[in-house]
């Protein structure tokens, strides 16, 4: 068992939790999207208050590693590193897509292939494939969603479970048969099942050199010159 602070900032919702082993003691999400910088410390404080623990009593920090929103991942990473540095706590990182796939597997309980989808720009999404044992079958990639997405698996007779905040982009494009839309989205509550074995196995990230898994560079535009 381990008392962990859980930080999920890969998507538009900032989510913070505290777990004791696999038991969630507290969970809070920001009330509005993209409030990571202004809300993350407040959410941590609320979770500590609900759980009855203080920050120095936390045994480690579990961080969702991406892919996802560039700025949001940086906020989560900076917060996690600051806590770990100042309190000499270990950092464990959790693959965002794998945690989302596992959560949808536990929700749907289907012998299927699981493709979590994290919303990116326009019709793009970050995804990776996982089997019903939560083993990776494809590497993380950015895909353009169209009517042919996942067709190779559907044509082979597989059921495909789509989850995450990018799954809605597939609605109306993919065939109804063989596709299940899970309501599961990224949450700090989904980190503990993968974070706990990593913590217990001593698989800690190097705090000094750790960087989030952005997958793609940020979409930086040049502002128009003032007239």
Tell me the pLDDT tens digit for each residue of 79-117: 999 999 999 999 999 999 999 999 999 999 999 999 999
Phi (first) and psi of residue 210, to 5 degrees: -65, 140
Class of the 3-95+186-200 domain? alpha beta
Q: Are 161 and 114 in contact (CB under 8 A)?
A: yes
Q: Quick one: pLDDT at residue 187? A: 98
Give the chain's mean pLDDT: 94
Q: Are 118 and 10 in contact (CB under 8 A)?
A: yes
Q: Are 168 and 120 in contact (CB under 8 A)?
A: no
Q: Are 181 and 171 in contact (CB under 8 A)?
A: yes
- Alpha helices (H) along the chain: 36-51, 70-87, 96-108, 151-155, 192-200
* Candidates 3.40.50.2300, 3.40.640.10, 3.30.450.20, 3.30.420.40; CATH matching 96-181: 3.30.420.40
* Residues 31-46 pLDDT 10s: 999 999 999 999 999 9
Q: Quick one: pLDDT at residue 227? A: 47
User: Structure pTM?
Assistant: 0.93
Q: 70-87 vs 36-51: helix axis angle to the nearest 10?
A: 50
Whether 96-181 and 3-95+186-200 are alike in CATH topology: the answer is yes
What Rg value do the Cα atoms of the chain yield, rounded? 18
Intervals of the chain under pLDDT 70 = 218-227
């Amino acid at each position: 068992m381990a008392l962990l602070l859980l930080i999920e900032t890969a998507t538009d919702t900032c989510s913070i939790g505290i777990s004791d082993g696999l038991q969630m003691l507290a969970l809070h999400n920001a009330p509005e999207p993209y409030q990571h910088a202004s809300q993350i410390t407040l959410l941590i404080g609320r979770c500590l208050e609900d759980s009855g623990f203080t920050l120095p009593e936390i045994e480690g920090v579990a961080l969702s590693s991406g892919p996802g929103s560039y700025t949001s991942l940086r906020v989560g990473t900076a917060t996690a590193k600051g806590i770990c540095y100042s309190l000499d706590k270990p950092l464990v990182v959790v693959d965002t897509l794998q945690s989302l796939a596992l959560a949808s597997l536990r929700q749907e309980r289907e012998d299927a292939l699981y493709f979590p989808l994290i919303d990116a720009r326009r019709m793009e999404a970050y995804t990776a494939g996982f089997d019903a044992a939560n083993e990776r079958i494809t590497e993380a990639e950015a895909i353009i969603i169209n009517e042919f997405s996942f067709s190779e698996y559907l044509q082979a007779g597989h059921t495909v479970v789509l989850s995450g905040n990018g799954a809605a982009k597939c609605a109306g494009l993919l065939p109804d048969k063989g596709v299940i839309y899970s309501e599961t989205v990224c949450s700090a509550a989904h980190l503990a099942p993968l974070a706990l074995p990593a913590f217990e196995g001593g698989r800690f990230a190097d705090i000094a050199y750790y960087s989030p898994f952005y997958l793609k560079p940020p979409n930086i535009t040049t502002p128009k010159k003032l007239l």
